[in-house]
Amino acid sequence: MDRRGSLVESQSGASPSPRNPLLCPDSHMDVQGYRWVYWRVWLCRWGAVLSLGLLLILFHWRPRLAVRARCCSCPLALADVLLLRDSFGQRYVVEVLTEDMEDSSMELVADLEDSDWRDTVQLHREEKTLLRYYLFEGLRYVWLARKGAFCRVSVLNEDWTCNDLYSFQRGLSHLEQSSRKKVYGPNLIDVPVKSYMRLLVEEVLNPFYMFQVFSITLWMVDKYYYYASCIFLISLLSISVSLYETRKQSTTLRSMAQLVTNVTIRRSSGEEECVSSVELVPGDCLLIPQEGLLLPCDAVLLAGECMVNESMLTGESVPILKTPLPAGEGRYSSQAQRRHTLFCGTQLIQARGGSSDGGGATAVVTSTGFFTAKGDLISSILHPQPINFSFYRDATKFLFFLGVVALIGTIYSLVVLSRSNATWTELVIRALDVVTIVVPPALPAAITTGTIYAQRRLKSQGVFCVSPPRINVCGKVSIFCFDKTGTLTEEGLDVWGVVQAGQAGFSELLPDPRLLPAGPMLSALACCHTVALLEGQPLGDPLELRMIQSTGWELIEPEGDQKALDAEFGGHRVLAVMRPPAQEVSVSEAGAIVRRFPFSSSLQRMSVVTVAPGGRPALAFIKGAPEMVASLSLRETVPEQFSSILRNFASEGFRVLALGYKPLDGKTDWRTLERGVVERDMQFLGLLVMKNMMKPESGEVINTLKLAQLRTVMVTGDNILTAVNVARNCGMMGSDERVMFVHATPQTAQSTPKLRFHLGEGGTQGTMEVLTEGLYQSGISYHLAVNGKSFSALCDYFPEYLPKVLMRATVYARMAPDQKTQLVKELQKLNYRVGMCGDGANDCGALRAADVGVSLSEAEASVASPFTSKSDNISCVPLLIREGRCSLVTSFSLFRYMALYSLIQFCSVLVLYTTNLGDLQFLFFDLVLVTLLAIVMGRGGPSEEVHPRRPSASLLAVPMVGGLFLHTSLIVLGQLAALFITKSQDWYVPLNSTKTGAANLPNLEDTSVFALSGYQYIIMAVVVTKGYPYKKPLYHNVVFLCILLILFAVMTWLVLCPGPVFSRLLQLNNIPDMNFKLLIVALAALNLLTCFVLELLIDHGLLSCRLLRGNRPSKKKYKQLDLLLSDCPSWPPLNQALSSAQYTVIGLS
């Protein structure tokens, strides 16, 4: 057996889940097994004692070392401890747990799980069955001997078919339920809330706080009592606030995540039993009351209908009607059957039609605990994926750079002090003191200040963020994807009219559906929907609400005695009744909906089965995308003008739906009728034409983004021509720009994969002009439009052309939710920073996959995406980009300031090599000057416009590192100038060579260096604080300006006339020469001027990489491709059939 194994991930049980393998394909984890070696364990314990606990601290920082020191490698089947490594390279250590299982109870589950999960070992010469498992991020992984790996426990039920689920309607026995609970664990989303003591220990063991403890100890030894005490109190206050906030957040998340309630389940004996939701296991038959409940698990609906509010998961505020799962041998998937799946954490508003009296509903539990949709989302908050952002990567690397500087300074101090009369103790203390100065432990906290300010500003404008580090990422977004309906256009649609189909073709557009004659078309408009009533008010898709309203028919649902209404319609179980207006009763008959097949984005259609009073006739109605409905209809019923009529309406921006119907045998059992049987051989009825109005803010926002040179694309499930029209109207495409349609066909038994490009209508030039002059191929004067089928074929058969299509495609139509997610990932492969804005429903996967996902939702903090905007339009997108850039620039400024602050103090200590700054001098610099300036420096808000150039995100770029070096050089020159000017004065008194360190205070060298370095702290705050074009000019930050002026005044007062009290307090030498003091002030002014001019030159490209390395191509793939396509006048080839390179190679071989 291998010592190294792979962790098999089963498919998640919830479609909105961000951890679904479809959304996170790189969920593979590498697992290594280790077994305890007890002599090693005892050796490590002795080592911990002898090292005074330092070994334990090292093991805490590097758990992998702890495992390898205490254990030896072994096969996974025998492991006590596992070392996990995820796809991001992060490592974790988990302990393997075991649980005794009773053979008698195991056999009850063995038939279902094929005995796959049992691991039999011999203990004390007795055969005992042990369940071996471990817990990671709340999920349970069990050992499967046949697979030779630890697998998610959900793998045991991932192969359930629809018929399997229906077989669970009988319920589980107590013994079955008990044995399943041992395997699956309790149904609990348990967010750990650590005690204050444990949080304190973990916080103190953080490397930065350990460094702080080391520094405070060193300062106390060096007799810096005041400074060490103040830093200790500040650190204590910081830790206290951090512990309180951490525990508060954990408690809040736990109260939101943990749901324990009483539910009713059915036992195998037929009895109904009320149990705690903690006891639920997959396979339990759940009885949902008529008034609904807050669902504590994932379940599939088998009987009745439920109105569900899923806003917590998807951000979609419109309740959704869930219908029973169709029976069949097909494998159940919550993604494919999401309209039949009830997700954990969603509010079931009402349930009906699931029992003999018409009330309630019946469902079967499919997932529990962290394997539910809510559990996965809570887990993604507790354990977020690392953000691949250069700013955060470079911050850690830069600390190592400062560490190297500290090492150089330490060596210099040792060499200089060894020549003096310093003792070995003083040598060590002074050398280590240099390290505490150069590496500021507050640096990581300081750079988050800009993000905190930005988050507050966003919240005040109705934009909520659940992942603050993403704010800085907003500043680097290079492409933004937008959903269409409800995002760019209004959610509601106005009925423009209907077009009936007949033997003679299509009729004229009829503006008012009420004028339709009684017949299938009018009945289809009235009945083909999933609208339901809640307290007498219709709820459902806005499109369907308008459709029903346009017919004037009334929706009635069973109330009270269900049997009476069933009897009126031939004894069929009635879900809803549509009755015509009173004046039309004599002409039109009421229709009772007895079966619904809800709309599916992947199927692009929905259907219903209705019966007339007395149970006759039975009709099936279908509604959906025109192309889909036409493909499911009898060819002779679809008019020849179908394509041209559809093209005309779609090109004018109308939303078009097609309707069809067919008679059914009235004796059919609707409960077992399969969808595929209903939705075939339909008779085409006609088209419903709806006008989708553009939101007034959309065009303005798109224009703003285009001026900022940010690419915008549309990703929609609507018709491609409608999408192109909306793209033109909102400004994604110019009126003079051409559109080319991409058609890619997959491989079939009769044909090979083909890719074609052809011109669409629009623009100013004729087709022949375009072909002969090639005007469409200059720059970005053409746009590609792709539908979902072609996109899938491109990904599967034409990967070599896919990047080029992605570079020029602006419209993606008829895209299913998983295709939207795939598109985002493909764009990220081209090194784009991708933003996605949608309504949070079908866009949930793409929103979470994007670098910046924005959900337009009324929910304050939906977990459907990192950002949630309460506004119903895309005006939040430029705001996010501006705030992101402002936050990123502020973080850069604070990082540079904290680094320069350390380097200024570092230079002061090295310049004053035989003495040092005083205790209260350090305190004055760190608290009064630096801390105060760092806090208010980030208060400046973002610029009012989005600049075409994005700010840099690399802390290790040449301008950044080179700028620090040059500024440090000027700082050193300034301090040396102050020192040499002091030594050149007639009244200069040399230092007492018999003393070192603070014992030499006050002295003239220290006083002059203190004066100039104090100015330098303030000067650097002015120099590194950036304004235009990403932030408002400096004068808008009034608080910062006032504090700057006050601190300049304080420093000038301390230099010119500090008075005896402050001179004694700060250990400053009273220099009577006013001309010398004015010279120090002038030197500070010169230092300000030189640093300011240097920063201006750096901003204007003094250290630009282009000047140093020439015009090298960008490392970003999309920029390389853009340059390649600009120089390629022959691409894309029009009206030519391109073959797949993969298929060609396979064919030749």
- Cα separations in angstroms, 422 against 48, 418, 889, 999: 34, 7, 45, 12
Whether 772 has a pLDDT exceeding 80, the answer reads: no
| Window from 196-210, 294-308, 519-533 with minimum mean pLDDT | 196-210
Which pLDDT band holds residue 105 (cuts at 50, 70, 90)? very low
Per-residue pLDDT, 128? 57
Per-residue pLDDT, 243? 86
| Window from 123-132, 756-765, 802-811 with minimum mean pLDDT | 123-132
Per-residue pLDDT, 774? 46
Rounded to two decimals, the pTM is 0.79
**Can you say how many angstroms the Cα of residue 698 is from the centroid of all Cα atoms in its chain?**
23
- Cα separations in angstroms, 139 against 153, 184, 333: 8, 10, 20
Q: Percent of the chain having pLDDT more than 90?
A: 34
How far is it, in rounded angstroms, from Cα 437 to Cα 916?
12
Whether 208 has a pLDDT exceeding 80, the answer reads: no
Q: Which tens digits make up the pLDDT trace of 1043-1063?
A: 999 999 999 999 999 888 999
How far is it, in rounded angstroms, from Cα 814 to Cα 789?
8
Give the residue among 259, 261, 296, 264 at the shortest CA–CA distance from 360: 264
DSSP tag of 12: P
Whether 11 has a pLDDT exceeding 80, the answer reads: no
3-class secondary structure, 1134: coil
Helix (H) or strand (E) holding 295: none
Per-residue pLDDT, 259? 86
Whether 106 has a pLDDT exceeding 60, the answer reads: no
Angle between helical axes of 390-418 and 424-438 (0-180°, round to 10):
160
Per-residue pLDDT, 743? 92
The pair of three-digit structure tokens given for residue 421, joined into one six-digit string = 């009369």
- Residue 35 near residue 44, CB atoms below 8 Å: no
DSSP string, 1050-1065: HHHHHHH--HHHHHHH
Which pLDDT band holds residue 777 (cuts at 50, 70, 90)? very low
Which pLDDT band holds residue 1 (cuts at 50, 70, 90)? very low
Per-residue pLDDT, 660? 95
Whether 803 has a pLDDT exceeding 60, the answer reads: yes
Per-residue pLDDT averaged across 129-138, rounded? 87
| Window from 172-176, 220-224, 363-367 with minimum mean pLDDT | 220-224
| Window from 343-357, 374-388, 692-706, 851-865 with minimum mean pLDDT | 851-865
The residue type of 372 is T
DSSP tag of 11: P
Per-residue pLDDT, 1149? 34
Per-residue pLDDT averaged across 904-920, rounded? 84
Q: Which tens digits make up the pLDDT trace of 938-963?
A: 888 899 999 999 998 888 888 888 99
The residues annotated with a catalytic role in the active site are 483
The pair of three-digit structure tokens given for residue 353, joined into one six-digit string = 């039609």
The pair of three-digit structure tokens given for residue 325, joined into one six-digit string = 């799962």
Per-residue pLDDT, 1109? 56
Q: Which tens digits make up the pLDDT trace of 549-607?
A: 899 899 988 876 677 777 778 777 888 899 888 776 556 788 888 888 888 777 788 99
How far is it, in rounded angstroms, from Cα 994 to Cα 983?
19
| Window from 5-9, 556-560, 924-928, 1012-1016 with minimum mean pLDDT | 5-9
- Mean pLDDT score across all residues of the chain: 83
Per-residue pLDDT, 219? 86
A 10 A CB-CB count for 827 gives 25
- Site of tokens 């994807």: 481
Per-residue pLDDT, 801? 92
How far is it, in rounded angstroms, from Cα 682 to Cα 664?
11
3-class secondary structure, 522: helix
How far is it, in rounded angstroms, from Cα 528 to Cα 417?
90
Per-residue pLDDT, 763? 44
Q: Which positions ≥6 away from 290 have C-beta within 8 Å?
A: 350, 351, 352, 359, 360
Per-residue pLDDT averaged across 708-718, rounded? 91
Peptide bond into 948 cis (omega under 30): no
The pair of three-digit structure tokens given for residue 350, joined into one six-digit string = 């009402």
Q: How do beta strands 305-309 and 532-534 pair?
A: unpaired
Q: Which tens digits make up the pLDDT trace of 61-103?
A: 889 999 999 999 999 889 999 999 887 778 899 999 988 876 5
Q: Which tens digits make up the pLDDT trace of 254-306?
A: 887 888 999 999 998 889 999 999 999 999 999 999 888 999 999 999 988 88
Q: Which backbone phi and psi does 15 adopt, to 5 degrees?
A: -70, -35
Q: Which tens digits make up the pLDDT trace of 425-468?
A: 878 887 888 888 887 766 767 778 888 899 999 999 999 887 88
